[in-house]
Structure 1
Amino acid sequence: MLFLNRRSVNLILGKSFIFLLVHLLCIPVTSAQSYDEELRRIKEETRKGFSENLREFNSYPDRPESDGPFNRDNVEDFLRDNIPHFISSDKDFTKVYNYRWWMMSKHFRLWKDPEDHKDYWVITEFFGWPAHGSISGAIPCPAGHQFYDLRWFRDPKYLRSYIDFYMKGYASRHDQREGPNFHTHIRRPESHHFSSWMIDGTEAFLKIHPDNPWRNGLLPYLEKHQKVWDDTFTVRKAGARTDGLYKVLDLYDGMEFTISATLPLIESDGPYAIYTEETWKQYYLGWGTIDNLRNSGHVKKFPEAFANAYPLVYLVRPSVNSYYYGNLHSLGDLYALKAQESGSETDLSKSEHYLQRARLQRDKTLSVLWNGADEFFYSFTAADNAYGVKDKMSRVRESAGYTPWYFNMIPKGDTTYDKAWDMFSSEKGFYGKKGMTTAEQQHPLFNEKAYAWNGRGWPFQNSVVYKAYANYLRNYKGEITASDKELLYDHVKKLVSLHGEESNIGEWYIPGSGSEFGGVKDYFHSTFPDILIADLLGFTPSHDNSFSLRPLLPGNAWDYFYLGNIRYHDHDIDIIWKKDWDTDRKGDQGAMRVWVDGKLTAEAASLSDTITVTLKDKPGF
């Protein structure tokens, strides 16, 4: 048996007959056949386990009904035909992975646009028709996470249609409707009601399902989408520190009642003088406290300083400034791909324009938001706020400060910002006994009990930070240690445990003592399949006709895993890792093996190795 022990195993399919012949001759036919038999066996085991899990999920009482056509009668076939299949020696991981796809299937809704009369697949966050949702019921706040999970679906039509809805459909053409719980004076389309990174998410989708004609037709709409962020949410105050950066209410960043907003409220006078060290909990610590402020009569005195009793303190946050770096960089990447195909100088010029804008956005964000003394990315109040302290740093570490790594925003080789990750493993920072916190635990205003983003755990942020940490390890840290991998695995395993015996994903959890999620059940506001596939197991897609595998799974965590039925660049990918392929032989015969279109193609003896596979184009691809 041939084991390729190099750090990177590069196989080019269909390029060299001699190379392939040598490779195939080095693998005994009997071994190749036995590996194929193991693939067939584990596929059947995965199928049976999946069916058992779905029968259990469908039996859960008191769960929301599906928002669309997929229900307990047809969901098994729908998911089996579309999702990457997974099984591992850890039954909890396997069950939660299957549960999350089952949960997602309930959020598919086919919605007809009343103007263009087209049917769009949309993906809901809350079930039903929430008052703060778009006319379709979908909400843009979790769209980036939804894109990253659903990009792995075999049939790309669902996510392609959902992207079209936000970029070209009703949501892109009409302002967000006013409702009883809206808190804004800024008009913008439904697609921009909350911050998001949809353009980056679209590029992530295209790395798995390339579609040049669709991409080229969509690009002008992606540009228009970003222009709304540029025109509406850019700080404009010449000479100010935050001038030119992006701003947002913490509420419309999907993270209401943050410490980074509380601190400037306490420090401000005028309309916000009502917030003091003694009173802020009464007026800014969950939705019930907003009612307290509204009922006090104070809001009526300063109508322009509040929107439905929510204070209009716009923040320049690490989150949104990373999101729009990601969007700008993706526009540059996608126009570069178009230019390669078209040879157009216009396309090339647009690519260079957006990549340059992304670099400027990166440099400004790193320069302004990084605090060298505290070694973390902080939020600032926007310099052009109408009321309250302006252009002022909020000195609190929040999990949103890790967002730059989600988008690989840090320049390669720059170790200036590495120390921020010390807080990821610290009980003074974000490391909770039951899960990650959203604010540093040593801060005086930390509070995990309130329905707020000032300490309580919210899976939305777990999804951001776990990918950010995985990117940091793979793309920035010189040497990945066993303890680095254990830390990521520990965090993800705690997230798995919070799903409970009757699997459920909710809105929030208590990091210090919680045993399960609270709030709405079967809630689609975060990722899990993408955490497992891309972050933990290291399947890295690309625009090139290739992919790589570089797992961060600790070597002793599982005895085996299978990840397969992945549709990638019009090919089918299956992966098996086993700690011991031959229990009759002394020692562990560990290896990770990859099949492409049913043919054993690549292998490595260690989970620490990187496997890179370059695919042969299919006719007409």
Structure 2
Amino acid sequence: MLTLSTALSLALAATALNVNTITSKYFGNDAPWYRDRIPLFETDQTVLQDVYYYRWGVFRAHQRDLGAEGYLTTEFLNDVSWQKSPWALLIDASNFHLREGRWSRDRRFTSDYGNFLFGPNGIQNQFSESLADGVWQVYLVDGVADDATSHLSAMQSFFQGWNSTTLGVGGYDSRKGLYWIQPLTDATEYTISSIDATNGTDGFTGGYSFRPSINSYQYANARAIAQLAELTGDTAVADQYNAYADTLQRLVQADLWNSTFSHFIDRYEVSNEYVTYWDFIRGRELVGYVPWAHDLPDDNATYAAAWSHVLDSDKLAGTHGLRTNEPSYQYYMVQYRYEGTHPECQWNGPAWPYQTTQVLTALANLLDHYPKSAATGVINQADYTQILLQYARLHYNPARGGILDVEEDYYADTGSPIVGLTRSPHYFHSGFVDVILSGFVGLRPRADNVLEVNPQADGGTVSYFRAERLLYHGHEVAVQWDATGSHYGKAGLYVEVDGTTVASASKLTRLTANIPRAAPPTVDRPIAVSVQLGTTTEYPAGSVSVAGADADDVHAAIDGRVWFYPETDVANGWDSPAGNGTEIWYQIDFGSATQTGRAEVAFFANATQGYAVPTSYRIEQLDGDSWTAVSNATYDKPLANGITNASWQTAQTSQVRLVFTPTKGEKVRLVEWKVFSS
């Protein structure tokens, strides 16, 4: 007999999204990379859907393969002078990277990234950070305790590192029990504190202050360390770090809340002829919402009043984005810094995806589990949805013909990018996937065996959405909303686990279900033996048959980075000359005998720019003093803007060559050539 629950599950199964159709639509020939790695999402709010998949493309582009060191997530596509080389490490946005990556069905990226951040080549105090919290947030989704707890010792070292009094750019003030930082080291140069500390003449450096940001990050890190310690049974460490967190929570609320502004704002740590130690800065900044992003404030109407400012067009609400401070500030949008004639990054008013992500995360927290604050009606789900839609629209770049391209900062009143340098396109300095899945869709990650869903999507705006293939605590989860039943054939909110409906409601509301924890899929870690971290790294080393080739471009074809964006300022790889019927080769010297047996080749193609895949290719190996074709080879047809696979009988060799013939009159761009041992 067909029961009601079985019939409902069958009906919902019929609404499942088609992974092949969707990934092919959004990713073209590169779709195979995404098919088993990302959750699917659709909604009648198509701007959210389109940006959601675009942001998975950004995530993919910023996964840098380091070979034996695993994967690292980068911030810029192009190298910048202030990264830690040769890995291209910047940690200011790492919490966003980890929160985005926790929804990938392939745990390798977050697992490897955590290993790197807290490993021997990680870096402390490069910027303010919430790395321990980021790893904890990953654990809340994947449930793999061993990955997270393995970093406990390093996490404590990072936390205690901020207690130094000799850093010069940040530290701990024992007189106040709070952390201070230079805004530049907080990744937010040209704030009120740094500008006013120079009497309005500059603000790139200096302006040391007790900020809501670093104190919230340290609070979140302390809570994460305590919770991870509890998983290992180390109650002493748990008690120690919970005590740190309790103290920070009390002092941030007592000392950084300004009743005149009804906002969390900076106090100066520096004294000079213009500013005085412990004085408040003279205005509101968007950074004042960061405490809610980490659940620091108490739930009351006093603190909830701060959320009115983000809706006020005279304060922090711009027409096209959230302002980082208010137009009433004396130096609002005054441009101090340039690269040539191009404006450089500043935080004295521009809209930044970085802090917009923090605001949306904070607001989802407030609406989800701050009942007294939500009950004030200062801000609601309709406001959340409109801010999210505004943020999504900011991803369309009018300076590049309206393409999807998230950049560094924007004019809040026009939506146009401000900086727009060659380093700026497809900038991974913010989040979006996590905002959609944990906020809009409302899957609220938890440490216990409860699946909780509480969508913050506004039912008066959003007609339908569905998210599926969410790998949560080892289970396949889907969340579906249809206001009228006209899209999916069934009205209401439904939560599915492993294909079975476990909870439902007629409206957008909180739903919970008990689910036993299951082991997630194991991590597959093939190691590319071909990756050269930097041009000065001796081996592996690339060379080409074309005289006068640029060394940086040659290196780019084996640097572990893959993307196919057509914008010329983020071109990636080595370009051959236009084809004339002759063969060209790209050679990798491993420096010693190395086993090889498989390759992934990424070719870029763009007819307008004169690039096409080669007409043919093969792989050769150095055998003694002679080059010979690899044995028993299987070659995929060359694929444009995707991965071309090749395999052969494993063999030991010190050098390999990719030999190819460009199409007549067309160049070949070799984006990346990865070689594996098997």
TM (normalized to structure 2)? 0.69
State the match for 1:80 in structure 2. Answer: 35
Partner of 2:300: 414
Secondary structure at the aligned position of 1:541 is classed as coil
Q: 1:352 to 1:33 in 2, by over 3 A?
A: same
1:506 to 399, 407, 410: 407
CA distance in 1, matches of 2:273, 2:179: 16
CA distance in 2, matches of 1:265, 1:236: 22
Q: Are 2:465 and 2:481, in contact at CA under 8 Å, matched by a contact in 1?
A: yes
Aligned to 1:495: 391
Following TM superposition, by how much is the alpha carbon of 1:254 offset from its aligned partner in structure 2, in angstroms?
0.7
Q: C-alpha deviations, 1:379-408, integer Å up to 9, x for none?
A: 112158999632322121000011111111
Q: Does residue 1:318 correspond to 2:212, yes or no?
A: yes
The CA distance in 1 between the partners of 2:434 and 2:222, in whole Å, is 22
SS at match of 2:15: helix
Aligned residue in 2 for 1:365: 252
| CA distances 1:420-441 after superposition (whole Å, capped 9, x unpaired) | 1110110121111111110022
Equivalences for residues 136-147 of structure 1 within 5 A: 136-147=87-98
1:65-104 Cα deviation digits (max 9, x unpaired):
xxxxxxxx5x421222111111112222111100000111
1:122 partnered with 2:18 = no
Task: Decide which moves more: 507-516 or 544-553.
Answer: 507-516
The amino acid that maps onto 1:249 is Q
In the alignment, is residue 34 of structure 1 matched against residue 7 of structure 2? no
Partner residue of 2:558? none
Q: CA deviation at 1:603?
A: 1.3
State how far apart, in whole Å, the 2-side matches of 1:560 and 1:196 are: 36
What SS class does the counterpart of residue 207 from structure 1 fall into? Answer: helix
Counterpart check, 1:541 vs 2:541: no
What displacement does 1:197 show?
A: 0.6
Partners of 2:305 and 2:327 in 1: how far apart?
17
Q: Which secondary structure state, in structure 1, belongs to the residue aligned with residue 79 of structure 2?
A: coil
8 Å CA contact 2:440–2:456 kept in 1: the answer is yes
Instruction: State the Cα RMSD in Å.
Output: 2.5
Which of 487, 491, 515 is the matching residue for 1:590? 491
Q: 2:12 and 2:441 mapped to 1: Cα distance?
A: 20
Tell me which of 207, 228, 233 is aligned to 1:334.
228
Deviation at 1:511, TM superposition (A): 0.6
Distance 2:172 2:272 in 1: 9
* Correspondence for 1:614: 514
Question: 2:479–2:496: 8 Å Cα contact kept in structure 1?
Answer: yes
How many angstroms apart in 2 are the aligned matches of 1:330 and 1:385?
37
Post-superposition CA distance 1:180-222 (Å, at most 9, x none)? xxxxxxxxxx342111111111100001112223333221111
The alignment-based identity, stated in percent, is 24
Cα distance change on mapping 1:576 and 1:448 into 2, 3 Å: farther
Equivalent position of 2:457 in the other structure: 553
Contact in 1 for aligned 2:9/2:500 (Cα 8 Å): no
| Structure 2: gaps (5+ residues) | 336-342, 397-401, 522-678
Query: Aligned-pair distance for 1:138?
Result: 2.0
CA contact (8 A) 2:136 2:228 kept: yes
Structure 2 counterpart SS, 1:548: strand
Mind listing any 5+ residue stretches in structure 1 that lack a counterpart? Answer: 1-23, 56-72, 113-117, 172-189, 267-274, 285-309, 340-346
Q: Counterpart of 2:527?
A: none
Residue type of the alignment partner of 2:382: E
Letter of the aligned partner of 1:454 in structure 2?
Answer: N
Change (3 A) 1:600 1:399: same
Inter-CA distance 237–210: structure 2 relative to 1 (3 Å threshold): closer
Distance of aligned partners of 1:351 and 1:25 in 2 relative to their CA distance in 1, 3 Å threshold: farther
Give the C-alpha shift of residue 377 in structure 1: 1.1
- The question of 1:209 aligning with 2:160 is answered no
Structure 1 equivalent of residue 193 of structure 2: 260
Q: Tell me the amino acid that sits aligned with residue 22 of structure 2.
A: G
Kept after mapping to 2: 8 A contact 1:566/1:573:
yes
**Compared CA separation, residues 335 and 431, structure 1 to 2 (3 A):** same
Q: Where does residue 343 of structure 1 map in the other structure?
A: none
Moved more, 551-560 or 574-583: 574-583
Deviation at 1:349, TM superposition (A): 1.6
Deviating more after overlay: 120-129 vs 208-217 = 208-217
1:601 corresponds to 2:518: no
Instruction: From the CA coordinates, give the structure whose radius of gyration is larger.
Output: 2
The residue type paired with residue 549 of structure 1 is V
| Aligned with residue 284 of structure 2, among 397, 420, 424 | 397
**Does the 8 Å contact 2:473/2:520 carry over to 1?**
no
Change (3 A) 1:581 1:398: same
Partner SS state of residue 577, structure 1: strand
Residues 1:88 and 1:319: Cα distance change in structure 2 (over 3 Å): same
Instruction: Give the Cα–Cα distance (whole angstroms) in 2 for the partners of residues 213 and 156 of structure 1.
Output: 13
TM-score (norm 1): 0.76
Cα 1:429–1:584 change in 2 (3 A) is closer
Deviation at 1:483, TM superposition (A): 6.3
Amino acid at match of 2:383: L
Matching of residue 436 in structure 1 with residue 322 in structure 2: yes
Separation in 1, partners of 2:91, 2:273: 27
Q: Which has the higher strand share?
A: 2
Q: How many residues align?
A: 498
Distance 1:388 1:448 in 2: 20
Deviation at 1:324, TM superposition (A): 0.4
Any idea what the Cα deviations from partners look like across 1:500-528, whole Å, max 9, x if unmatched?
Answer: 24211111111112256752111100000
CA contact (8 A) 1:313 1:387 kept: no
Counterpart pick for 1:571 among 471, 475, 486: 475
SS where residue 493 of structure 1 aligns? helix
